Every structure is written in structure tokens, then in C-alpha cells.
Structure 1
Amino acid sequence: MSTSPIAPDVAAAGQRAAPEQLRQAAQDHLWLHFSQRADFAHERPLPIIASGDGCYLTDVDGKRFLDGLAGLFAVQIGYGHGEEMGEAAAAQMRELPYYTNWNAAHPRAIELAQEVASLAPDGLDHVFFTSGGAEAVESAWKIAREYHSLRGERRWKAIGRDVAYHGTSMGALSITGLPSLRAPFEPLVPQVGHVRNTNRFHRPEGETEQQFTAFLLDDLEQRIESEGPDTVAMVIMEPVQNAGGAFTPPAGYFQGVREICDRHGILLCADEVITGFGRLGDWFGSTRYDIKPDLITSAKGLSSAYASIGALIISDKVAEPFKQPGAMFTHGITFGGHPVQAAIALKNIEIMKRERVVENVADHQDDFRRTLAPLLDLPIVGDLRGTGFFYAIELVKDKDSRTGFSDEEAHTLLHDYLSNRLYDAGLICRADDRGDPVVQISPPLIAEQQQFDEIAGILGEVLTEAATRIR
């Protein structure tokens, strides 16, 4: 057994360990998520974020950063509400630190369910709590299967989209359309099909939006037919797809998806783990795009990441068969709707309403895009896409032909240069190679013009440098 280099007297007294002590302890004991351990053992010091305020973070070395990713598309209200959130958590701890939602309930879960239902699109009135987004996706697939079973049908398949990310638990990973993430864990949960996503950057020149919509809907229809319509339980899609870089839907797309699902008796799930709770300038992307889903998965912004909580929001239609005598959703999670998590989520929604956080996105989203738009003039920038406070910049090797990078070139550009250079420049965002190489930008929903200018300024400087490195 190794011994942590953090001195016991420091830990016991609550004193702050030196940065080098923390980094060594992390190397010895902390297993990072989606990180190559060798990077921080040999190449660069491990970033350790120590504090936050508003849209900004500070590391243990005192360096300040603009968080252009809102943690992971999650910290809607920014980092300035720890005291108020802590008071809500402490009050709940004193009253009831824990109880389940298994054959019983507690006040905070009931209140939060009512609040979420009031914000969700019409007809989605029932809330099943989870510990996070992947669990919400798992729950959606399970309830879809059981819904059909209660109606006398055996449907088990799910259909997602290419490159889409829905989580890393085995069911959610099975729906995820990223081969590089799926391959290490195959065989996965049967049976999932994938259809084209709404990336229009590499579509044929001159194709109209209506033609693109028709192409996508025909692709979905064909996939359902090839799977056997009576075996498909659920179609799951994000209102704006994150992986691959903020793919927005063309006009009429989700209305067509809804019609296809209705015609074949398939449930439609909107994965709003990222887009829910304000990121697109509405409480839910389903409202903004008039998706009319049967199910919504959510997490992240539900608590602004101040607590680990997610929710599956269920329509009256899906809930109906579960009202039969003897019917039960055969699924449960120990910490689903935990009283303290629920109290924090309630406080988060209260703050969002009080400080008009969703309205801030609606009021400033055009300014954000306008501030980012000059980046399109850079030779390395091929596309700027997204909406609300949710954007991606696609990087290209040749702008005129829209030629991308090889896998090796993209890895060198994103992993070896951009990620580190942006961090050094004081901007946290995401240089992402899930699909074509992109830089993802998604600040806290309290951001305003000052933050937009900082983001665009740093990106402009760093991407200009990057362009010279790839010639």
C-alpha cells in the first residue's frame, strides 16, 4: 500500500496541501475520467482547479481561467452560489439526510418532481429521478421496453444517431454512436441501430434544407423498416447533438421524426442531459424545436452540477399503462431523488428563475454568435454551428475544399497542441475529436458580452497560431 505524500497533520487540520503534494497524491491514488494517465505523469502538470466564482475558475497555482465549457455543459448558474446552495443542503441534512423513493417518498422529491413537470413541455408530467444522465438514458430504454410489454408488444430495440453520445453505462453506451467508445466493451446490449445525424457541413453543395430534412427522414424510415418496426421500442435524439459539434436540426426534422414514430408506434425520447434547463434559451430544447417527445432525459443543468442528480421525464401516454393493477416499472436507484440532491436542485431552479438565467441566454444568444462569427475568417475554421450558449467550431485543413485532417493530424492538433495552448491562455473549452475535429464552447448561462469577447479573443489568437503550425 502506498502512502499519500499529503502529510497527515495537514489533512487532519484541514490545511491546504501544496500543489506538488496534491499532484503526487493524484498520480498515486486518483483515477481520472477519460484521461490518459501518462499525460500527467510525464508530459504536463495535472491541472487542479481549486475555486470558482461566476464564470471563472482558479487553480491551485493561482492561475485564473474563463470556464468556456460550464464544467461539462452543466454549471448553468456559474460558480457563485456555493453558500446559498450549502445552506439549502445543510437545512435538508438536519431535517432528513436520506430516504429512498421506493414505495415511499419524501417532501423534496415530490416538490422537485412537481417543479420539473411545470417546466417541461405539456403532457410530460411524471418524473423518475436518477443520479445522473447515463442513468436517465438507461431508465428511458427500460421504461420504453416495459411500456410496450404492458401493452402486449415485445419491443426491445433502440435507434440513436451516428456520433451521438448518450453516456457510458452499458445500455447508454450501446445507444452511443461513437465506435471508438463502444469497441473496448463489445459485445454491448442488443439491439441498437444508428441513423444519420444532422451535420450539414459536409453535405452536397446546393442541397436545400428541405432536401436535407427529407434525406434524414428517409434514412430513419429505412432503418426502422430494416430492423422491423414492431421490434423498435424507442428512438432517442438530442435536440442539438453535442458529440461531433453542436449539430442543429433542419426545418421540419423533428416534426417528421415524430410522425414516423407515431406511425410505427415507437416512443420518441429527447436526450436533454445537456440541452435541458436553459442552454438553448428555453427550459427545454424540446420546447424550442417543438419535438413533442414521449420521454425526456435530463441531468447536468437540473442542479447546475451542484449535486449529482438526473431525471427521466415521462409523458402521460407512457405513464398510462403503468396505472393498471399489478403494473410496475421494474427499476430503481438507491440515490434517485436523494433528499439533499433534490433540495439543491430546487434551490438551483429558484436561483435560475430569480436571476432570469434562461432569459439571459435568450436575450444574448445572438450577441454570442455575432461575437464568434469573425472566427470563420480564420483559415483553419470551416464551420461555426450551434445555438443558445452551445456552439462548436469545426477545424479544417483546407478551407476551400472543406478537407479535414487525418486521424494522426487531428490527434496532434487537438491533443498535443490546442488543449494545452487554450488552457495556458486561460480558456477552458473542449478540443474534441469525436467525429471531425471541433472546439466546443458552452459557457455558464450567466455569461455576457465581456465573456463572449474573452472567449472569441483567446480562440482567435490560439487558432491563428494553430493554422501556422499545420501548413
Structure 2
Amino acid sequence: MSLMDISADRASADATAARDHLWMHFARLDQGRQAPIPMITRAEGVHLYDERGRRILDGLSGLFVVQAGHGRRELAEAAAHQAETLAYFPVWGTATPPAARLAERLAHEAPGSGNRVFFTTGGGEAVESAWKAAKQYFKLTGKPLKHKVISRALAYHGTPQGALAITGLPAMKKDFEPLTPGGHRVPNTNAYRHPEFGNDHETFGRWAADRIEEAILFEGADTVAAVFLEPVQNSGGCFTPPPGYFTRVREICDRHDVLLVSDEVICAFGRHGATFACDKFGYVPDIITCAKGMTSGYSPIGAMIVNERVIEPFLRPKVSFAHGYTFGGHPVSAAVALANLDLIEREGLNQRVLDLESTFEATLRRLLDLDIVGDIRGDGYFWAIELVRDKASRETFSPAQRERLVHEFLPGAMLDNGLYCRAADRGGDVVIQLAPPLISGPAEFDEIEQILRHTLTQAQAIL
């Protein structure tokens, strides 16, 4: 038997194993019965390779994660060296050098002063930790009724029961109800779906921010603990903050003694050209949640970063935060994160994003000549394309058309045409999300535009 035959047999066995035994995340399990499950076998730079050897441009950085690109030897070597030295030890009343050094670095790079870092293994756990910390903070400061959270419609903040209660996607929650009580929703900043404000973005931003104060007052300021907001909202398709929005939100939170949480699980570590996107958008939160790009995906880690105000009552005698994760602050992950942050700094990837974000935007905007493309929006290396049935009226698709596009056609067609990105149906609006590795440049932008143009032309034809 030749090596090619052995390789083909192995690929077939892997595909069968995936179909029969792998419970894929956010996926319909019957899809493997209808068509082969895509199998990514290796990656290098900005490209993925499947079991058939096809080269596919990674237009989503895996899952908004692989900032520095695939196949970075120095990150693999950092993991191997740390595993040989100390593969595991918890941070439950003890510390390891990588965890201590990473906490110091994140604390110094986050805005505000006196920052402390609580490590998790991912973003949902960081959000869960932030809500628990906010509740305990107010109990320790004599306001025990403050426990509720305000977040935005369509926003995704994670899948644990608490984080899911903060998430603003009803379809994602219905199968797991009842959830943790206390989550409440306000409008998001999707200007495309608020044409009544026209180009008056400042008025729209103030209107959207004032809905947060309205919700706080309706629930009772003595019961609201925190407002959770992404700098650029992911779910629904890259809703950027209007001018003045976060300044107004910060004023509202201060007025009513409510903690402002910046959920930067996607937005941190260069996605918007800064270590933390709140710096770019001009606000100082009380808590930051982050994960994904911290290690460029080479090892799992997440974090909750709290400022001096929030940590103060936890420093009092005999106070503890009765919360933790076995693998939070894992020494291998912490070592990889330090190496990744060094790499981002050494290669100037934050500045690269700032220098090229307008080029990326201009390239994507060429797609607006297609009838199916209604809006292009985003910031940095984080963009969304909203698809519409009728461009003039901004009418979205029927449920049957959304099913055809999002679940039956676009994912497979984009892969077949050489691009990995994401099609999503959130609240009836169909969007394609793009977040390429930060090492991408104009050549990759052009390739993304060309593949999408071909794929969306096909989509128009089938509709």
C-alpha cells in the first residue's frame, strides 16, 4: 500500500470518527449524515489546509483567535519549554512564574490603576466570573440588592448559565431556560437598522446610551450591579459604538453606582489595533473580560481584569472570592500568552491593524455593488457584511431563505471557493463575519473580496 493510500485511509477513518463520535459545538449533528464534515488538517500563516489538500484562506482567525497567524514556531516552543519545566500547578492560593508575569503584564497594559487579574480558561468563564465578582463586590460594600445585569439585544456573552443570561439571543437560550435570573436587555448600536437617525451618529449614540439609564431606573438602581458591553458587538454583525456612546455610558454607570464591564473576549489583543479596545474607543471600564487572542489560540486561557475600585473590598481581612477553575492560569497557557504578546509587540501588529484597517474597509466596500449586500460595517480587522433581500427597503430574507443561505449554501460554498469565514442568522438578519489574522494585508483583503464576490453572486442566483 502506498503512502498516498495510507493517508487516504487515515482521512476516511478520521471523517468517520468525527461523524460518529464528535459532538461538534454550535452545529447540527445531522450534517455529517448528509455530507462529509469538513476536516482541517494543518495550517500555515493565514491559510488552512483540509484533508484533500485544498488551501483555504482563514478569514475568521479560527474563531476570532489566531492573531499572529498559524504555525508560529516560537509559540509552540514556548509551550514545550514550559511543559518540560512545569506542566501544571493551580493558582488556588499558590502561584507560578508564568501566571504571575502574565498578570503583571495585563494589569499594566489595561487602562485604570491597581488592576488585578483573575484567570479562567476561556471567555464565557471570564464573563461568568465578572458577574459573580460584581455581585460580591456590592455585598461587600453594603449594597446587597445590586445583582442585575444590563446588556444589549443580540449580544453574545457566552454559554455558561450566568453568561447565557447576559447573552441577548433568545433562540440561543430557550432550550436551557430557566436561566440565572437578573439579565435585562437594551437596544444595540446597529445604525443600519435605525435609519431614522440618518447620518446623525452622535444623536443615535446618545439615544442608545440613554436606553441603558432608562433600564437601570426601571429595574431600580439599587438592584443593578453591572452593564456588560463589547467595544464592538460581535453577534448581529460588528456594531460599532457611535461617537460619544461610551462617554455617556460611563457617566450613567457612575451616576447610578453600576460597574461597567468591557467584554473584550474578541476585541482585545490587536483585533482593533490596541491591546484593549476600550483604549481605542476612549473609555475606562471597571472590569475587562478577555480570552481568544491572548495566546493566538496556541493554548486556552481567559481572564477577568478588575480595577482598583473593584478589588479594594476583596483585599480586606478574611475576605475571599469563592470561585475558581482547575486550569485557570495554566502555566503552559500563561507562558504562551507572554510569548504571543511579545510577538505582537515585536512585529508591530497593533500598528499594522491601524495602518491597514481603512484599506480592508475600502476593499470590502467594493462588494456594495452587489444587490444582495446591504451594509458593510466594522473596525480594525473585524468586519461584517449584512445581506438583504431588497437593498432599497433593507428588507431581510424570509425564514426559508435564511435557512437556505446560512445553513445550506454559504458555509460549504465559501469553503469550496477557498475562504473560511462565518455566516450567521441573528434576529432575522443575515451577516457574514470576517476577522483575518493580524498578519494579513492587502493581498489577503483582495482575495477575500474576490471569493466573496463569486460566492455572493452564486447566492443571488439561487435565491
Give the structure-2-normalised TM-score. 0.96
**In 1, Cα distance between the equivalents of 2:453 and 2:41?**
27
Tell me which residue corresponds to 2:457. Answer: 464
| Aligned equivalent of 1:142, options 128, 132, 144 | 132
Please give the secondary structure, in 2, of the residue aligned with 1:229: coil
1:384 maps to 2:363? no
**In 2, Cα distance between the equivalents of 1:200 and 1:19?**
46
| Aligned-partner residue type, residue 184 of structure 1 | D
Tell me which residue corresponds to 1:255. Answer: 247
**In 2, Cα distance between the equivalents of 1:50 and 1:37?**
21
Tell me which residue corresponds to 2:310. Answer: 318
1:365 maps to 2:357? yes
Tell me which residue corresponds to 1:153. Answer: 143
Tell me which residue corresponds to 2:386. Answer: 394
Tell me which residue corresponds to 1:41. Answer: 33
| Aligned equivalent of 1:111, options 79, 98, 101 | 101
**In 2, Cα distance between the equivalents of 1:88 and 1:16?**
33
Residue 17 of structure 1 and its aligned partner are, at CA, apart by 5.4
1:409 maps to 2:407? no
| Aligned-partner residue type, residue 432 of structure 2 | V
Identity within the alignment, %: 49
**In 2, Cα distance between the equivalents of 1:308 and 1:51?**
18
Contact residue 197 and residue 203 of structure 2 kept, 8 A: no
Residue 211 of structure 1 and its aligned partner are, at CA, apart by 2.1
| Aligned equivalent of 2:448, options 418, 430, 455 | 455
Residue 281 of structure 1 and its aligned partner are, at CA, apart by 1.2
Give the structure-1-normalised TM-score. 0.95
| Aligned-partner residue type, residue 224 of structure 2 | V
Residue 294 of structure 1 and its aligned partner are, at CA, apart by 0.2
Tell me which residue corresponds to 1:307. Answer: 299
Residue 469 of structure 1 and its aligned partner are, at CA, apart by 2.2
Contact residue 289 and residue 305 of structure 2 kept, 8 A: yes
Q: Which runs of 5+ in 1 are unaligned?
A: 1-9
Contact residue 76 and residue 298 of structure 2 kept, 8 A: no
**In 2, Cα distance between the equivalents of 1:85 and 1:211?**
45
**In 1, Cα distance between the equivalents of 2:167 and 2:392?**
32
Calculate the aligned-residue CA RMSD, in Å: 1.4
**In 1, Cα distance between the equivalents of 2:197 and 2:37?**
47
**In 2, Cα distance between the equivalents of 1:243 and 1:417?**
20
Tell me which residue corresponds to 1:438. Answer: 431
Please give the secondary structure, in 2, of the residue aligned with 1:121: coil
| Aligned equivalent of 2:335, options 327, 336, 343 | 343
1:292 maps to 2:264? no
Please give the secondary structure, in 2, of the residue aligned with 1:230: coil
**In 1, Cα distance between the equivalents of 2:302 and 2:405?**
34
Please give the secondary structure, in 2, of the residue aligned with 1:326: coil
Residue 16 of structure 1 and its aligned partner are, at CA, apart by 8.4
Contact residue 154 and residue 168 of structure 2 kept, 8 A: yes
Cα shift readout 1:86-119 (whole Å, capped 9, x = no counterpart): 2212211222111111111111100001111222
Contact residue 124 and residue 294 of structure 1 kept, 8 A: no
Structure 1 segment 129-208 matched on structure 2, within 5 A = 129-154=119-144, 155-207=146-198, 208=200
Residue 260 of structure 1 and its aligned partner are, at CA, apart by 0.5
**In 2, Cα distance between the equivalents of 1:149 and 1:206?**
41
**Stretch moving more, 146-155 or 208-217:** 208-217
| Aligned equivalent of 2:42, options 51, 60, 64 | 51
Please give the secondary structure, in 2, of the residue aligned with 1:317: helix
Structure 1 segment 268-279 matched on structure 2, within 5 A = 268-279=260-271
| Aligned-partner residue type, residue 183 of structure 2 | V
Residue 15 of structure 1 and its aligned partner are, at CA, apart by 8.1
**Stretch moving more, 199-208 or 25-34:** 199-208
Contact residue 197 and residue 204 of structure 2 kept, 8 A: no
Contact residue 151 and residue 183 of structure 2 kept, 8 A: yes
Residue 468 of structure 1 and its aligned partner are, at CA, apart by 2.3
Contact residue 124 and residue 313 of structure 1 kept, 8 A: no
1:128 maps to 2:118? yes
Tell me which residue corresponds to 1:98. Answer: 88
**In 2, Cα distance between the equivalents of 1:350 and 1:57?**
24
Contact residue 124 and residue 295 of structure 1 kept, 8 A: no
Q: Which runs of 5+ in 2 are unaligned?
A: none
**In 2, Cα distance between the equivalents of 1:283 and 1:124?**
18
Cα shift readout 1:105-154 (whole Å, capped 9, x = no counterpart): 11110000111122212326211100000000000001101111110111
| Aligned equivalent of 1:89, options 70, 73, 79 | 79
Cα shift readout 1:267-299 (whole Å, capped 9, x = no counterpart): 000000000000011111100111210000000
